[in-house]
Amino acid sequence: MSHRLASGGRLIDRAKPQNFTFNGKKLQGYAGDTLAASLLAQDRMLAGRSFKYHRPRGIVASGAEEPNALVSLGRGDHFEPDILSTTTELFDGLQAESQNHWPSLERDLLAINNLVPQFLTAGFYYKTFLRPRAFWKHVYEPIIRRSAGLGKAPDTQARDPDRYEQIYAFCDVLVIGGGIAGLQAALSAAQTGAAVTLWEQTPHWGGRAPVDGVEVDGKAADEWIKTTFQALETMPNVKLRTRCMGAGVHDHGYVLGYERLCDHQPEAGGPRHRLWRMRAGRVITATGAIERPLSFAGNDVPGVMLASALRDYIVNFAVAPGKRVVVVTNNDDAYRSAIVAKQAGLDVPAIIDPRDRVIGALPDQARALGIEVLEGRAIRKVKGGKRVTGVEICRQDSTGGAVERHIPCDAVAMSGGWSPVVHLWSHCGGKLLWDDAQSCFRPDPARPPLGVDGQGMVLACGAANGHLGEVLGDAHQAGLAAGKATGGAKTPADPARDQVAQLAPMQPIWLMPAMASYDLRMKMWLDFQNDVKVSDIQLAAREGYQSVEHAKRYTTLGMATDQGKLSNINGLAILSDALDQPIPVTGTTTFRPPYTPISFGAIAGEARGALFQPLRRTPLHDWHEAHGADWEPVGQWRRPFTYLRAGESRHDAVNREVTNARQNVALLDASTLGKILVSGPDAPRFMDMLYTNMMNTLKPGKCRYGLMCNENGFLMDDGVVARLEDGSFLVHTTSGGADHVHGWMEDWLQCEWWDWKVHTINLTEQFAQIAVVGPKSRQLLERLGGMDLGREALKFMEWAEGRLGGFDARVFRISFSGELSYEIAVPASQGRAFWDRLMREGADLGIQPYGTEALHILRAEKGFIMIGDETDGTVIPQDLNLTWAISKKKEDFLGKRGMERSAMTDPERWKLVGLETLDGSVLPHGALAITGDKNANGQAVTEGRVTSTYYSANLGRGIAMGLVRHGPERMGEVVTFAGPEGAEIKARIIDPVLIDKEGAKQDV
């Protein structure tokens, strides 16, 4: 059984017990434990159930590569699934739940899948669930979804209360990985004078060197780690950060770092995670290596773990994964685990080594401790269900038919060699070499990922660079090269010297025993998390999946949350063997960021709640809010759709507002309208290019409505232009179009007409703009005094500047409602005071504000178009009968050529008309006019569509506009619109102008 040892544990503090729960049961560990270590210390061997077969699974690894021991942490709003227990630091009050079992971890009914594993071989879903078609949605998918999967999603009502943030940082050299290689690389780079940042994903510096008994300069590694860390800490050009994982390397030295600030201290306050957005001149990956499992039958039974993990647990946490440990290895390194276990007082009955002859320092030391070494042997099968009870031994060079021996044990430590962590090197295109001697891929220094300067931007060092023995010399070279490349001019000190025991060559073992029978291969797990076995890969190869990327997707090898950290190389080797080709020919699948999953919170950063998106507020926003505004988003602005009074429905409120605007006086907050100053000697010429109609003839003091099209002739924006002076215009745009139009202007000025003398300045926010609308609007403004706004003094489509009621005002006499109307711009900071004044002065005139819906209805009653309703990016001015606003005199304007193309001059184009339902009802928005015919595909043939449709309180019926084929020629004709659920709505084609066609009302 797994248990805590009486002494030792370099990372734990026995004086600080920590209480936690696992599946509701109260347990205790120590400060410094990982959750996995404390579970093992309590003999919690069973950590979860596998994805497909629901097989019992234990802890395999001690770090980020762990495939099995995923848990859910926290409750309610803090609930989070799929957390690696091996990288979760224990804290007092931690609550963990195991995953993917039903009804309980101990008794999982879905483990029945495991009794018939041939049902779920590679491609099983594809082959089985194709037919009958309807079964997929209603039968197969719900069952599969219950049986497969990892943790549960948080409750839909749960809201993460934690804060997250992102941060931008810059450095010359970023070193990822704080083992001894990373420390040395950082030191050497820093000593050149470069600005260095060093990230380490765990809370500890030094990596696994102390566990592996590495000596530096003749002393234990711990001592060198401490002094080097202290040296780095005092250097002003070095920044050190633990609990910060290099998550992804992207183009141009852009690296994402995932810092976990509060996962280990949830009560500390402050942001939980921080995402570093680093720009580095050079990136050094000192990310170490990951041990590979061996493929033998039952290699997934709880109690089987990586040899390195076994000694990590013993040395770091004083946790023994068993009392009687068998080691199985194809290399010398794992002998360290046997020695460590034996020295910790555990029984180590045997080391099983498939190599025929094992000699060397570590095997000698193991033998001297009385451990039997079984050469040329293999584990035939692991015995046990929910935990290991023993192993059957056979000859490696066999089919596994004959059991030579049975060795009772409760833990198996396995090692199939080491794979450098090449993920970060590979993210941005770094290429790999196959290293035959060590049977691993390692970075090819001749083909690194390239930076902006065409030079390699990533340097690997240490174990991550394939140096599985001594690393400091390599790390020094990387640090020096990166420092020099980023301008570090000083010469660093010589590196320290690390000494490790001489190791005999490993022997690649991809199958154990070498000629294992099918029933054994069916129990050899490659991918523990996704339940992919040796037999699955072989089947995929037989079925023609020769590309590694195809085989991966067919079998799901390496597609789980661990992204194949343990399974990748073993799977490639099996596939290569099945295809009878060398491993480097098969190649690897793609390494993609992030290295391990990062939280959505970190990705979102501050952008949640009120900060999710900027909300633009006009100077009158607070007034609207206080007066019943029913908000509508318009771009990033919020505009009142209507102002609701107590007890009023939205419909009632809109009807009240449109009626009042035509009878009394009404206010609209038009501050969101774009206001762009266009000025300079070439401004008139520029304006003529921007607009379809003539602008250079506009006189100062006058206004003109204009249309803007894109190069294709499609209508893009519209609005009123005021000529301020000979050389300057004020362009009004739509609310949503202001930024785009400004960008559009600058694009033409900077890229095409760079020699034109025109400046543009976006003054949208300089002014609060208020429309004063209705027959009593002049009466109201006259009460304010200061400007003569009489019929002749300020004619329709003129503007004037002055002091209106003491306010600095620019008054435009324009109308989007058909009523007598003024739009008054005052400096934004005076907007609220001006609005308050108008409301006060107009109280006895029946003044009311109106919202965007009333604005729409008022303009629709007058047949005015609205960008975004009558236009959708495919509509040209001619479609809207706006030919009067298209200059025939101008040699050119943006869109002119586009409008001349045959598709634009086609008489069959749908054109704007008014629509009046025969029963007075309101047409559905977007409804299509149907001819009654069907096309070749059996679809209804259409001849038009509704673009704007409202209830008009002023007319007492529904009003609409639409685009209809030959529309203007079909006045009085009745067309049919498709309504909901097959309904047909009859509407008559009419003139879109429904109120005051001659324009008398606005010209009083």
Partner 1 sequence: MSERATSALPGTHFKGFVSVQEAGLRGMVTIRCDLASMKLAAALEPLGLAVPAQRKVESAGEMALAWMSPDELLLMLPYDRAEDIAQQLVQSLEGEFATIANVSDARAVFTLEGAGLRDALAKLCPVDFSQIGAGDIRRTRAAQVAAAIWFEAEDRATLICFRSVAQYMFDLLSAAAAPGSEPALYS
Residues that bind partner 1 (CB under 8 A): 163, 165-170, 239, 268-271, 274, 277, 279, 606-607, 610-611, 613-619, 637, 677, 679-681, 728, 757, 759, 761, 763-767, 806-808, 827-830, 832-834
In angstroms, the CA 535 to CA 549 distance is 18
In angstroms, the CA 418 to CA 972 distance is 83
Instruction: Report in angstroms how near the CB of residue 279 gets to partner 1 at its nearest.
Output: 8
Question: Is beta strand 289-291 parallel, antiparallel or unpaired with respect to 418-420?
Answer: antiparallel
Instruction: Report in angstroms how near the CB of residue 268 gets to partner 1 at its nearest.
Output: 8
582: helix, strand or coil: coil
Q: What is the DSSP string of 674-733?
A: EEEEEESTTHHHHHHHHBSS--TTPPTTBEEEEEEE-TTS-EEEEEEEEEEETTEEEEEE
- Which residue number, 168 or 884, has a Cβ lying nearer to partner 1? 168
Contact present, 637 and 616 (Cβ < 8 Å): yes
- Which residue number, 680 or 898, has a Cβ lying nearer to partner 1? 680
460: helix, strand or coil: strand
The sign one gets for the Cα dihedral 764, 770, 774, 779 is: negative
Backbone angles phi, psi at 464, to 5 degrees: -65, -20
- Which residue number, 103 or 609, has a Cβ lying nearer to partner 1? 609
419: helix, strand or coil: strand
- Which residue number, 262 or 458, has a Cβ lying nearer to partner 1? 262
- Which residue number, 465 or 618, has a Cβ lying nearer to partner 1? 618
- Which residue number, 234 or 613, has a Cβ lying nearer to partner 1? 613
Contact present, 838 and 811 (Cβ < 8 Å): no
Instruction: Report in angstroms how near the CB of residue 869 gets to partner 1 at its nearest.
Output: 24
- Which residue number, 829 or 883, has a Cβ lying nearer to partner 1? 829
Instruction: Report in angstroms how near the CB of residue 224 gets to partner 1 at its nearest.
Output: 26
Number of other residues whose CB lies within 10 A of the CB of residue 504: 16
Q: What string of H, E and C letters represents the secondary structure of 188-204?
A: HHHHCCCCEEEECCCCC
In angstroms, the CA 36 to CA 46 distance is 11
Residue with tokens 């002049």: 778
| Cα–Cα separations (whole angstroms), residue 920 to 441, 952, 977 | 76, 10, 14
Instruction: Report in angstroms how near the CB of residue 273 gets to partner 1 at its nearest.
Output: 11
Contact present, 327 and 338 (Cβ < 8 Å): yes
Instruction: Report in angstroms how near the CB of residue 761 gets to partner 1 at its nearest.
Output: 5
Instruction: Report in angstroms how near the CB of residue 21 gets to partner 1 at its nearest.
Output: 27
- Which residue number, 634 or 955, has a Cβ lying nearer to partner 1? 634
Instruction: Report in angstroms how near the CB of residue 759 gets to partner 1 at its nearest.
Output: 4
- Which residue number, 782 or 808, has a Cβ lying nearer to partner 1? 808
CA–centroid distance for 861 within its chain: 45
Instruction: Report in angstroms how near the CB of residue 160 gets to partner 1 at its nearest.
Output: 15
Instruction: Report in angstroms how near the CB of residue 169 gets to partner 1 at its nearest.
Output: 6
In angstroms, the CA 305 to CA 321 distance is 9
In angstroms, the CA 947 to CA 963 distance is 7
The sign one gets for the Cα dihedral 856, 858, 860, 865 is: negative
Instruction: Report in angstroms how near the CB of residue 607 gets to partner 1 at its nearest.
Output: 7
Q: Which residues make Cβ contacts (< 8 Å) with residue 260, sequence separation at least 6?
A: 243, 244, 245, 272, 273
Backbone angles phi, psi at 822, to 5 degrees: -130, 140
Instruction: Report in angstroms how near the CB of residue 91 gets to partner 1 at its nearest.
Output: 17
- Which residue number, 205 or 807, has a Cβ lying nearer to partner 1? 807
CA–centroid distance for 728 within its chain: 45
Instruction: Report in angstroms how near the CB of residue 811 gets to partner 1 at its nearest.
Output: 17
Contact present, 758 and 682 (Cβ < 8 Å): yes
- Which residue number, 550 or 803, has a Cβ lying nearer to partner 1? 803
- Which residue number, 746 or 752, has a Cβ lying nearer to partner 1? 746
- Which residue number, 469 or 827, has a Cβ lying nearer to partner 1? 827
Contact present, 2 and 411 (Cβ < 8 Å): yes
Number of other residues whose CB lies within 10 A of the CB of residue 957: 15
In angstroms, the CA 526 to CA 515 distance is 17
Q: What are 493's two structure tokens?
A: 């000190």
